[in-house]
Chain A
Amino acid sequence: MTSTVVASPQAARAVPAVVLTGLTKQFGRFAALRNVSAEFAAGRLYVILGENGAGKSTMLRAIAGLLRPTSGRVSVFGLAYGGSDSGRGILGQLGYMAHPSLLYDEMSAMENLIYSARLYGIDDEARCAAAITLVGLDPALNRPVGQYSQGMRQRTSLARALLHDPRLLLLDEPFSNVDVTSARGMVQLLSNMRDAGKTIFVVTHQARLLAQAADEFVWIHSGNIASRVTTLDLEMVQ
């Protein structure tokens, strides 16, 4: 088990973004995560890679607090979930996006974002419009999200995730079904956000897109972290 982690000045910064301690998650007989322990420094862009069923999405959901670990702990910016504490203090600093769009098909993108903003106590239409524009869509578009193409839905989903300006972004397959040009725009966006100090986790099968932008590539195999490297071996990815 090799791990190459290059310490950067940022890593020396105080609180790590995410700390996993003995994180285990079992669904009946199936162990999705096995005793994972790792620290992830803040302000970096991590790409989570691995074959299907390796545990990538499970790990992301555990970090997002959507799963109760079978055992072990997850802490985000020094605050812990786990045990009986749901750690609501962390939630305002998290943005999560996954394959189900987490959007209402019957509402337009703006309506979805405005509602989502209200869940965070934010009442600011301009901000919602800005988020939609950021991902390359038109806020004035009045069609229900259910009629969008998959790529447009992905991008709206991303806009929803970053609307409340979270310090930690957890993205599960953000580029699936997105055309290359738009995907590159999203990568640039993520890169900019990382430069501005955000911590970003991206689970993806399309790691090539992030070959330059990412700080670290985390390989998951069979429910555990197999390796962490700073450069991507292009032979191993699509």
Chain B
Amino acid sequence: MTISATPSAKPDATSRAVNLTSEPALRPESPAPSVLFATLMKDLRLEWRSKDAINSMLFFALLVVVVFSFSFDPTGDDARRIAGGLIWVAFLFAAVVALGQTWAREIRNQVLDAYRVSTAPANDLFLAKALGNFLFVSVLEVVMTPLFVVFYNLRVIGPAYLLPVIGLLGTWALVVNGTFFAAISLRTRSREVMLPLILFPISIPALLGMVEATKIILTGESSAKFWIVLLAVYDLVFTTICLTLFETVLDAE
């Protein structure tokens, strides 16, 4: 049964039962997309619509690379040694700006309340946000890396195939904690400062890993295995902690 209710409807003398209780369309071949997927798609779609966010982030990333090139002399043998550190610091700056925006849309209109009141699991929301950030930051890194290679005349002496691995592990380390701490900082004053303030100290071991591993691969000096394993374990441990505690933090009011 359907009700037609036009804006100018007068109260209906014969009250008809409202029936939304028809079963949701059952399509055995395609069950409802998981909350994680739906949330991720929604975020990507919204980011795509307001392209100014992506564009300004990309330009910011470019600026960071240029500023670094002026500050840390790219010529000479040293370049390869310090490039590992520089590139990750540049990524870190860009990542922090992106992470600060994680929950920006959800704060307006208290959308998080809608999420909490629904049956959707909190961790689906967290992972969707973390993955969205991961994709976003990865895009920035993919843009910044060639610029570094150009400005610093980088060549890779060690096993180059390990670089994407380090990139993945390192980016996830920053993003998973960053997404969580961005949620914590929602409930603080000076939100923009709180996120990096809490994130940096805890991320230092991972940063050390990323920087050292990158430097080792670029210079081909030794084996980056220790650092890669460290990053992987770091990712595992902190992802677990984030997933365990996120619902608690989400419900903090």
Chain A residues with CB under 8 Å of chain B are: 64-68, 86, 88, 91-92, 94, 96, 98, 100-107, 111, 115-124, 126-127, 130-131, 133-136, 160, 162-163, 165, 181-182, 184-185, 187-189, 191-193, 195-196
A233 to chain B, nearest CB (A): 22
Question: Which 6 interchain pairs have the tightest Cβ spacing?
Answer: A123-B32, A100-B110, A102-B114, A118-B38, A119-B118, A119-B120
Inter-chain contact A192/B18, CB cutoff 8 Å = yes
Spot the interface stretch: B21-29, B141-149, B196-204, B214-222: B21-29
Q: Is the CB of A92 within 8 A of B15?
A: no
- The answer to the question of B3 belonging to the interface, with a C-beta cut-off of 8 Å to chain A, is yes
In Å, the complex CA distance between A64 and B11 comes to 29
Are B49 and A106 in contact (CB-based, < 8 A)? Answer: yes
Judge whether B3 and A134 touch: CB under 8 Å. yes
Contact A127 B5 (CB under 8 A): no
Query: Cβ of A116 and Cβ of B118 under 8 Å apart?
Result: yes
Known: A98-B113, A118-B35. A91 touches B4 (CB 8 A): no
Given A68-B253, A101-B109, A182-B7, A123:B24 Cβ within 8 A? yes
Distance A104 CA – B110 CA, assembled complex (angstroms): 9
Q: Can you list 30 residue pairs at the A/B interface with Cβ under 8 Å?
A: A64-B117, A67-B253, A68-B251, A91-B119, A92-B119, A96-B117, A98-B110, A102-B113, A103-B109, A117-B24, A117-B32, A120-B118, A120-B119, A120-B120, A122-B24, A122-B32, A124-B24, A133-B3, A134-B5, A134-B18, A165-B20, A184-B11, A185-B7, A188-B11, A188-B12, A189-B3, A192-B17, A192-B18, A195-B17, A196-B18
Within the complex, the shortest CB–CB distance from A10 to chain B, in Å, comes to 15
**B16 at interface by CB-CB < 8 Å:** yes
Whole-angstrom distance between the Cβ of B7 and the nearest chain A Cβ: 5
A contact residues around B2 at 8 Å (CB): 130, 133
Task: Decide yes or no whether B71 CB sits under 8 A from chain A.
Answer: no
Write the nearest CB–CB distance from B98 to chain A, whole angstroms: 18
What's the Cα separation between A130 and B25 when bound, in Å? 13
Q: In the assembly, what is the distance between CA of A122 and CA of B247, in Å?
A: 22
| Residues in B neighbouring A104, C-beta threshold 8 A | 42, 46, 105, 109, 111
| CB–CB A136/B6 < 8 A | yes
Q: Does B187 contact A (CB under 8 A)?
A: no
Q: Which residues of B contact A66 (CB under 8 A)?
A: 113, 116-117, 253
Smallest beta-carbon distance B44→chain A, Å: 13
Add 17 more A-B contacts to A91-B118, A96-B117, A103-B109 (CB < 8 A).
Answer: A66-B117, A91-B117, A91-B119, A103-B111, A115-B39, A119-B114, A120-B118, A121-B35, A124-B25, A130-B20, A162-B20, A163-B20, A165-B21, A184-B9, A188-B9, A192-B17, A193-B18
Is the beta-carbon distance between A115 and B118 smaller than 8 angstroms? no
* CB < 8 Å neighbour of B113 from A96, A126, A131: A96
On chain A, the residues within 8 Å of B18 by CB distance are 134, 189, 192-193, 196
Bound Cα distance A122, B21 (Å): 12
Smallest Cβ-Cβ distance to A184: which chain B residue: B11
Report Cα–Cα, A130/B146, bound state, in Å.
51
The answer on a CB contact under 8 Å between A102 and B118 is no
**A-B pair number, CB within 8 angstroms:** 143
A187 cross-chain contacts in B, Cβ below 8 A: 11
Q: Which residue of A lies closest to B16 (CB)?
A: A192
- Do B120 and A105 have beta carbons less than 8 Å apart? no
Chain B residues lying within 8 Å of A163, measured Cβ to Cβ, are: 20
Q: Cα distance A204–B176 when bound, in Å? A: 42
Give Cα A57–Cα B94 distance, bound, in whole angstroms: 40
Interface centre among B16, B30, B32 (most CB of A within 10 A): B32
B7–A102 contact, CB under 8 A?
no
Q: In whole angstroms, how far apart are the Cα atoms of A72 and B242 in the complex? A: 30
User: In chain A, what residue has the closest Cβ to B106?
Assistant: A104
**Complex interface: chain B residues within 8 A of A131 (CB):** 20
Q: Measured between alpha carbons, how far is A103 from B6 in the docked complex, in Å?
A: 22
Residues of B within 8 A of A120 (CB): 118-120
Minimal Cβ-Cβ distance residue in B for A155: B7
Are B5 and A135 touching (Cβ within 8 A)?
yes
B51 contacts A by Cβ under 8 Å: no
Chain B neighbourhood of A65, CB < 8 A: 116-117
How far, in angstroms, from A162 to B20 measured CA to CA in the complex?
A: 9
The minimal Cβ–Cβ distance linking A24 to chain B, given in whole angstroms, is 16
**A119 vs B38: C-alpha distance when bound (angstroms):** 8
Of B15, B16, B24, B111, which contacts A102 at CB under 8 A? Answer: B111
On chain A, the residues within 8 Å of B55 by CB distance are none
